[in-house]
């Protein structure tokens, strides 16, 4: 891949960052993944000489910040308050720089329904969907949308609470699973094809990745446990890569994102892309996709963490 898209890092002295809180863990359903991501980010920053410490969850972070112990925050708190705008609003009030998107971009992206609404207004392709209120007639909704379809919580990530539904008989169980989690339910057209993702760093798309799980689906196990999931990067031919990068950058800008994010999409059998969601605090585990997308541009894990943190400095992330 061409590395000239990204200029050299602006900051060379790790002391410039001050003391950095790597926020991880928390209380969401993605806690364990967040802890894994956080440990990796913490080790990478320390390897580059950054004075960084891990902080588990928002209450602990608030106490540490009130004590004046940190200069800025590297947010790797997946899901929940870490990606909903709650953390971002708190840090804005306190005047503490932080990685990733702001209040609006975080809130829009975590809510898959609102993200789709924004994309649709700009003509960006995303699967047809219905908002499914708890207690709504799911069979009537499915008949309106058409099988096969996906039912999932609108505010969760990491494939938590997601079901693929091919027959009417499986609808009730899918709704029951998704309803265990906060927020509205999303019923979405199932796109049959290949699953992809693409990282975006400072508004510029990286390389796409085609995900080939050993099983039928790229579920939680395939994402974080299995060692036989294949990741093909770049995942598309040059024209396809150009199209995917353009769509990812437009999707990123549409949701008012900044810093870094990962955009997931499907590619159907006719070769058309369909945007699924944007993740504003992507996983940084050994199985995660954002580091793989960056590596294709010659940006290794330590440099990726450095560049993300660098955007918290004056004149940082593009908007």
Which residues are catalytic, by number? 30, 158, 224, 262, 264, 277, 279, 283
Structural element, H or E, at residue 33: helix 31-47
CA–CA separation, 150 vs 166, rounded Å? 9
CA dihedral 259, 265, 214, 300 (to 10 degrees): -20
Q: How far is CA 131 from the centre of its chain?
A: 21
Whole-angstrom distance, CA of residue 59 vs CA of residue 66: 11
- CA 64 from chain centre, in angstroms, equals 26
25 vs 39: CA distance, rounded Å: 10
Q: How do beta strands 149-153 and 163-165 pair?
A: antiparallel
Q: Which of 87, 76, 55, 18 is nearest to 291 (CA)?
A: 76
The Cα 110–Cα 280 span in angstroms is 8
100: three-class secondary structure by DSSP? coil
CA distance 155 to 84: 9
Asked whether the CA dihedral 161, 152, 102, 247 is positive or negative, the reply is: positive
E strand map for 77-148: 129-132
Spatial separation of the C-alpha atoms in residues 171 and 185, rounded to whole Å: 13
What per-residue string of b and e applies to 172-210 under the rule 16 or more CB within 10 Å gives b?
A: eebbebbbebebbbbbbbbbebbbbbbbbbbbebbbbbb
By DSSP bridging, strand 193-201 and strand 260-268 are antiparallel
Phi, psi of 193 (to 5 degrees): 170, -150
């Amino acid at each position: 891949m061409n590395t000239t898209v990204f200029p050299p890092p602006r900051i060379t002295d790790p002391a410039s960052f001050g003391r950095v809180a790597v926020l991880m863990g928390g209380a969401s359903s993605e806690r364990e993944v967040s802890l894994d991501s956080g440990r990796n980010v913490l080790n990478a920053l320390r390897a580059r000489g950054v004075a960084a410490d891990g902080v588990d969850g928002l209450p602990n972070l608030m106490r540490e910040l009130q004590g004046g112990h940190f200069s800025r925050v590297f947010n790797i708190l997946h899901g929940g308050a870490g990606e909903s705008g709650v953390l971002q609003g708190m840090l804005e009030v306190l005047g503490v720089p932080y990685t990733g998107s702001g209040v609006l971009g975080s809130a829009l992206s975590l809510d898959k329904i609102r993200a789709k609404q924004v994309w649709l207004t700009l003509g960006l392709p995303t699967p047809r969907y219905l908002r499914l209120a708890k207690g709504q007639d799911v069979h009537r909704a499915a008949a309106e949308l058409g099988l096969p379809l996906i039912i999932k919580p609108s505010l969760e990530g990491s494939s938590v609470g997601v079901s693929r539904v091919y027959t009417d008989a499986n609808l009730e169980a899918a709704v029951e699973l998704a309803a265990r989690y906060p927020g509205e339910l999303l019923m979405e057209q199932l796109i049959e094809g290949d699953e992809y993702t693409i990282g975006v760093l400072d508004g510029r798309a990286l390389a796409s990745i085609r995900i080939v799980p050993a099983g039928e689906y790229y579920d939680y196990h395939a994402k974080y446990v299995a060692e036989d999931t294949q990741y093909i990067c770049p995942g598309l031919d040059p024209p396809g890569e150009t199209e995917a990068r353009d769509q990812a950058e437009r999707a990123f800008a549409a949701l008012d994102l900044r810093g870094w994010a990962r955009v997931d999409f499907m590619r159907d059998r006719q070769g058309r892309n369909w945007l699924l969601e944007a993740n504003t605090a992507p996983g940084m585990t050994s199985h995660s996709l954002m580091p793989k997308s960056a590596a294709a541009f010659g940006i290794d894990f330590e440099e990726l963490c450095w560049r993300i943190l660098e955007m918290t400095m004056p004149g940082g992330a593009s908007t």
